[in-house]
Structure 1
Amino acid sequence: MASLPEPHRTTVTRHYIDTRPLVPSTPKQPYNLPLLSTLQFPDQEAITRFIRPADRFMSLASALLKYSFIHKTARIPWSKVQVSRTPAPHRRPYWSPPSFWDPDGLKGGLEFNVSHQAGLVAIIGCDTPASQVPGPSSPEATTAESLDRLDLTGHHHHYHSPEFDHHHPPNQVRLGVDIACTDEDKRTPKDMTTQAKFDEWVEIFGEMFSDRERRDMKHAPIHLPVVEREEGAWPSDSSGGSSDEESSDTTAAKLKRQKELESTIIELKLRRFYAYWGLKEAYIKMVGEGLLASWLRELEFINVVAPKPWSILNGYSSRSRSRSRSRSRARESRSTDISGGHSRVSSAASPILPDINTLLSPIDDRLSRSGLDNADEETKWTVPEKAEKGMKTLFRGEEIHGVEMSIVAYDDEFLIATALRGVKEIGQRQLTLTPSGFSPTSNAGTRQDSIKQGQWVKLDIIRDIMPCAEGRCECLNKG
């Protein structure tokens, strides 16, 4: 086994934007895309190419997160940020340092990865010890060959291929992130209440998950939270109670409770399925491949546990969660189900799209209200020290070392999986909240927020990003 290279020691940025409050609630409601005009023209085109407002806002948030990370970490003006992409079909975004760039302490380059799902958009990024710019013949699109060259440490053997070794040095820093939504309208099955239905559904994904993974999804034991027992979904083990009480518990009532229990267990198994999905997506995004990879079944995760949703951590039962999700889906349906499809144009269902001048117009009140109160945001996340990291990653039956896999929960419906290779996260980051937004530098008379390792930080478009996009921030100040 090849020895593991020394990982790059640095801080890791984890930022996110929740676009759901920004989406218009009715098809004819006018809206704008904030800061669109501050992006490079190809990025503006990519965003406005989407039909549904919900998709436009997610694409916009993705661009803003990338620009913000590059601007703050590389310390270059917002107007000079250029996001490049690897060749099709994967088109993985990356940053190529411009010729005028003065690194000012950043000696290498940047690595980052973005994910979006159901309105939530997230970026993970860090600096790298050396520039990791793919060349014109980069093997990003042939990662099956790349995995063939993996040793059991998760790093690459030195083969007699100068091009391959040049683009994939053994100490290369790579990051991957994926957001999975466990209760997305029109995508998550709503009638999954029995083991038989769940088993049938899992088998649909036989080309993505191995036999062992699918078997574990269906049959591995799953923990039922205590709160479910308190609401009566769990059959009591107590032998106490009078015969009158036992006789009043009719067969029909017992059958109803058994069905409710089975439904609850299937709900938790479905959540675990999405944990598998997120982990696999994060890993293949880390190595630069997509779900069309031929080796997906050979990459396995075992001992997967889905982090608990916010409601369980706060003592709510599955019945309360079900009522909450019903209300949430109703709101989502009113706010995002506008065109009846992701990119189809239907004369009857399509929204009336504003012209580009409207999209570039000043920010409306919904943006000025969104995300300004972060007091409760941190409580919606799995605390970093309780992130699920106990899973094992296997490739062709052998454990992969040197890759840190992790998964956390946000609110009730989201799971966020990350994959880190070649990096050792260190220390706590300090973000200074100034009148012009969050700044990575310290200034007298401002409040500093300490960011734990592994903590996700919500960015607000007005407070945290607009000052940078308009050149009013202090990110480029030295010191």
Structure 2
Amino acid sequence: MATTDGSPGPRIIQWYVDTRRMWPVPKKAKPKDEVLEFKNVAARELSLLTEAEQDSVLRYYYLRDAKTKLVSHLLKHLIVTKFCNVPWSKSIISRDAKKKPCYVPEGETSEPDGFAFNVSHQAGVVALIAAVGFKSRIEVGADVVCDNERIKIDYQHIDKHGFFDWVDMHADVFAPSELSYMKLAPVPVDLRVKGAELNGYGQDAISRCQKRHERIAVKMTGKNGEDMELQMQTDPIIDAKLRRFYAMWCLREAYVKMSGDALLAPWLKELEILDVVAPEAKEGIRDEFSLEKGEVIRQFATYMKGKVMRDVKTEMTAMGVNYMMSGSIRVPKEHQMSDVVFGDWLELDFEKDVLAVAESY
């Protein structure tokens, strides 16, 4: 069970809920009928929301979307109830001037200083990041990605048109430097030879790899300086490039959500998050539903209009085999960067950490 209480003072809260096996509903001929059945199966949880929030859940066509929307609402109410000292019924979620969800106390006109939250969901997983106890206004953003949710569609395009063309489909939301990096920067590969390293020609071969189901000759240097060549299947290279793309998407989305602007923000192509390496999943995971913590990468080179963003702190974690979660925080001037400390993403016990709180406050 995740710990949801703690000491006062500046803190970063990171929660998640995995809805994939929650609220099982019999398969129906029409997806919308599954959502109608979900209304009965999740009646207890839906009763904890306002009528407008319930409507926003049940208007979805697909069950998976209704489930993540429900949990997104519940986590917003939970963070307000736990850390703003109000009963669940008073944890009204509003929207700020940029339409970003926030909490405005009853009788006030703005959200409390030093408190902010953001929610993200993808492929059945819902994550919330929050800042509590800070001295002044703070901005936070979160994102979740699943690198294989669209894998069949991604593969179809890449197999037909190549990886570079696939990257170019997303050119509107990335900086030119990022697009070039996605296409041409080498990705980690298993050389299967102890002590060997890629040489320039080997790195170039991997950088230019665009399609699966091919074999390429990769030149490398052995541990004693000798020239070597390895025949490699291109499938793992493309998979590594796809994972890095989704890692870059995750970081960018977290930053954009932190700012409160959409992916159509006018400055979007002037935001650069450079030299991104995707965090690696923990070795040996067999369970497809596992969200076991893998590698954590802290702080990325983030630039806006060519200037480094020194007040932004970012972190990304591999979760299970295919998921990654990131958080982005703009640190107030009244605080040092060291005041912002990311922790682990904690999976909530839905019954004890969420429902028990909602029904007792």
TM range (shorter): 0.7 to 0.9
Query: Which residue matches 1:454?
Result: 343
Q: Structure 1 pair 254/403, CA: closer, same or farther in 2 (3 Å)?
A: closer
1:306–1:9 distance in 2 versus 1, CA, 3 Å: farther
- 1: distance between equivalents of 2:124 and 2:242? 20
Residue 11 of structure 1 pairs with residue 11 of structure 2: yes
- Compare the two structures and name the one with the higher strand fraction: 2
Matched, 1:79 2:89: yes
Measure the CA separation in 2 of the matches of 1:301 and 1:256: 31
Q: 1:254 to 1:122 in 2, by over 3 A?
A: closer
2:238 is the counterpart of 1:266: yes
Other-structure match for 1:221: 186
- Amino acid across the alignment from 1:46: S
What's the CA shift for 1:51?
2.1
**Partner of residue 463 from structure 1, selected from 318, 328, 352:** 352
Aligned to 2:137: 172
Q: Take 1:467 and 1:236, find their aligned partners in 2: how far apart are those partners?
A: 55
Partner residue in 1 for 2:172? 207
Does 2:116 match 1:116?
A: no
CA distance in 2, matches of 1:268, 1:195: 18
Residues 145-164 of structure 1 mapped to structure 2, 5 A cutoff? none
* CA distance 1:421–1:213, change in 2 (3 Å): same
For 1:38-437, list aligned pairs within 5 A: 38-86=48-96, 91-99=99-107, 108=113, 110-129=115-134, 172-185=137-150, 189-191=154-156, 197-225=162-190, 229=192, 261-310=233-282, 313-314=283-284, 380-382=292-294, 387-422=296-331, 424=337
Partner of 1:26: 27
1:66-103 superposed Cα distances (whole Å, 9 cap, x missing partner): 1111111112111111000135xx52100001249xxx
Q: Quick one: structure 1 residues 53 and 256, their matched pair in 2 at CA, closer, same or farther if it must change by over 3 Å?
A: farther
**Which has the greater radius of gyration?**
1
Secondary structure of 2:115's counterpart equals strand
Q: CA deviation at 1:193?
A: 6.3
Give the Cα separation in 2 of the matches to 1:256 and 1:193. 20
What percent of counterpart residues are identical? 30
Could you list the per-position Cα deviations for residues 218-268 of structure 1 after superposition, in whole angstroms to 9, with x for gaps in the alignment? 111211247xx38xxx9999xxxxxxxxxxxxxxx9779988632111110
Give the distance between the partners of 2:215 and 2:177, measured in 1 at CA. 34
Between 1:68-77 and 1:90-99, the stretch displaced more is 90-99
Amino acid paired to 1:276: M
Residue aligned with 1:393, SS = strand
Instruction: Report deviation, 1:409.
Output: 1.1
Q: 1:285 to 1:404 in 2, by over 3 A?
A: same
How does the TM-score come out when normalised to structure 1? 0.58
Question: Which letter does structure 1 place at the counterpart of 2:89?
Answer: S
Q: Is the 8 A contact 2:273 2:301 kept in 1?
A: yes
Q: 1:187 to 1:18 in 2, by over 3 A?
A: farther
Q: What is the distance in 2 between the residues matched to 1:99 and 1:180?
A: 38
Q: Distance in 2 between matches of 1:279 and 1:307?
A: 12
Contact 1:180-1:275 at 8 Å conserved across structures? yes
Is contact 2:143-2:253 (8 Å) kept?
A: yes
Aligned length in residues: 312
| Aligned residues of 2:274 and 2:300 also touching (Cα < 8 A) | yes
Aligned Cα root-mean-square deviation (Å): 3.5
Q: Which of structures 1 and 2 has the larger relative contact order (alpha carbons within 8 angstroms, sep 6+)?
A: 1
